[in-house]
Amino acid sequence: MTVKIIDKKAPDALVVPLVQDNRLSDLLSDIAHRAGVDANTLQNDFRAEAKETLVLYEAGHAGRRFYLIGLGKKCAFSDIQTALRSFSHRYKSKLPLRLGVDLRHFQLQDIPRMTDAALSGLSLGLYDIGRFRTSPAPKPAPLFGSAKSELDILVPAEAIAPAKTAAQRAQIFADASKQILDLMNAPGNYKTPLMLADFVAEQAEKSGFRVRAVHVENIEKEGLGALYAVGKGSPNPPVLLLLEYGAKTRKSKTPTIGLVGKGITFDTGGISLKPSANMHYMKSDLGGAAAVIGTFMVAARLKLPVRLIGAIPAAENMVDGLAVKPGDVINTYAGKTVEVTDTDAEGRLVLADAMAYLLKSETPDVLLDLATLTGSIIRAIGTQAAGLFTSNDTLATALASSGDACGERLWRMPMWEEYGSDLKSDVADLRNYTGKPMAESISAAKFLEHFTAEHPAWAHLDIAGTAFGDSEFAQTKSATAYGIRLLTEFVEQWVASRHPSSND
């Protein structure tokens, strides 16, 4: 699909996103006039409610039509993105080869953001989740979205240059997001830890970042005992992926940001086996890794002026004669011993080792870990935000505001000391599960805190509710690619403002 930014000569089929504000009735009368229909009737029949869609055919002009799309009252980034994604998802088999989106009626300063949101929404709506279907629905060719198709984005003449930059950005995000959706939606047999390593190597090559894999022999030899323990019940060996973007060594002027992502390619729960009803959804237990990989892809393609270092502990949490058992005591990379009271609390184990490993060789200015860590965060705050855990107020504010800006929201949770007290073990330094079915997302964060080497700017994001879930885009739960926008936005803001790395 070719994308063009123009200021006139709209194609016959034109998408017009409209906000429910005081300019709506004027805009509608103008459209009614252009289409040759009655203005009052149109104003009555189309109210620009979120995702409301109305197709208007222009009398006497074959092929000329308007797709009016309601954005509701707000026009925040995510409202536009979602409305246009929903539209292209619903209409994808009907849209003509050449389609226009008219943004000329928006405020000049909003045009780049609108362009980014509109284009990434339209593009994501074309995502096809049925990668493994052998009989796809018959597609009438030629179709919008195919190689030969064209999307014209109409903006005021003065905004063409910034809109072009925004469109490139949108395409970078959309391309990365679609690859990440494929990764998350893929079944466990298509993404073992080593397959994940191959995927990352391929993306690294294409986007321009570096990756190194620590394989199982060295995981054991180097003392990554927690990652080893989680992976040892599977014939598909674990791997630790180390990602790097930007300068090879730390330079004082460019900030270094560390990103760690949970990469459990399938979580059966291990010997503390999960119930079977929803177990197939545990193919999504690498949402943290997915967000980190996606961010590296985008950062490299946008050539962000930052240095990123990443660690992805990948393992398959299986049930087996060799699997780690409840009560087993393991050695972690940080040197602390852990009593594994629940083998289903495996995420914190692999993250503990990955964070300690990353911090052993250097100290990034900021350290973030992302993980589909607990069902508890879903019970606490649902699917509209991920849980944000940090003791650093500056970092909390920066992360939350990045989330608000792109619609990938974060909600701060407490980190009070008391929540960590139940992690004491009689036989080891720590246990991985408190044994009490309460505040589990917080005790998980308190567990991780032990492995951050008291880093002053560490935050943990529990994305169990946001990475994978119900939506209008699929029959059952599916991937969201949550975190890529959020992390990129955060990195850009952090670099721009050169925040101090701690509270002091």
Q: Look at the chain and count its residues.
A: 504
Decide if residue 267 touches Mn ion (CB under 5 A). Answer: yes
Tokens of 344: 């289903």
Tokens of 237: 């060996």
Q: How far is the CB of 423 from Mn ion (least distance, A)?
A: 16
Q: Give the per-residue SS3 of 332-384.
A: CCCCCEEECCCCCCCHHHHHHHHHHHHHHHCCCCEEEEEECCCHHHHHHHCCC
Tokens of 315: 């393992």
- Contact call for residues 269 and 317 (beta carbons, < 8 A): yes
Q: Give the per-residue SS3 of 207-229.
A: HCCEEEEECHHHHHHCCCHHHHH
Q: Which is nearer to Mn ion, 262 or 450 (CB)?
A: 262
CA separation, residue 352 to residues 76, 208, 360, 433, 501 (Å): 37, 28, 12, 14, 21
Q: How far is the CB of 215 from Zn ion (least distance, A)?
A: 22
For residues 189 to 228, the per-residue mask of contacts with Mn ion, x marking binding by CB under 5 A and - elsewhere, is ----------------------------------------
Catalytic residue (choose from 98, 301, 348, 409): 348
116 binds, among ligand BES, Zn ion, Mn ion, none (CB under 5 to 8 A by kind): none
Element (H, E) at 152: strand 150-154
Q: How far is the CB of 7 from Zn ion (least distance, A)?
A: 50
- Residues in CB range of 128: below 8 A, 6 or more apart: 136
Q: Which stretches of the chain bind ligand BES, using CB under 6 A? A: 267, 269, 285, 342, 344-347, 372-376, 433, 440, 464
Q: Which is nearer to ligand BES, 309 or 423 (CB)?
A: 423
204 binds, among Zn ion, Mn ion, ligand BES, none (CB under 5 to 8 A by kind): none
- Residues in CB range of 105: below 8 A, 6 or more apart: 23, 27
Q: How far is the CB of 323 from Mn ion (least distance, A)?
A: 13
295 binds, among ligand BES, Mn ion, Zn ion, none (CB under 5 to 8 A by kind): none
Any catalytic annotation for residue 232?
no
Q: How far is the CB of 460 from Mn ion (least distance, A)?
A: 16
> How big is the CA angle at 362 (ends 358 and 365), to the nearest 5 degrees?
95
Q: Which is nearer to Mn ion, 81 or 434 (CB)?
A: 434
448 binds, among ligand BES, Zn ion, Mn ion, none (CB under 5 to 8 A by kind): none
Q: Which stretches of the chain bind Zn ion, using CB under 5 A? A: 264, 267, 285, 347
Comparing CA positions, the residue from 280, 258, 295, 322 lying closest to residue 458 is: 258
Q: How far is the CB of 234 from Zn ion (least distance, A)?
A: 14
- Contact call for residues 17 and 74 (beta carbons, < 8 A): no
- Residues in CB range of 159: below 8 A, 6 or more apart: 108, 111, 112
Q: How far is the CB of 346 from Zn ion (least distance, A)?
A: 6
Any catalytic annotation for residue 348?
yes
- Contact call for residues 251 and 268 (beta carbons, < 8 A): no
Biggest alpha carbon–alpha carbon distance for the chain:
83
- Residues in CB range of 338: below 8 A, 6 or more apart: 226, 329, 330, 332, 349, 352, 425, 428, 429, 430, 431, 432
Q: How far is the CB of 142 from ligand BES (least distance, A)?
A: 40
- What are the DSSP E strand ranges found in 155-247? 210-214, 239-245
List the catalytic residues: 274, 348
Binding residues for Mn ion (CB under 5 A): 267, 344, 346
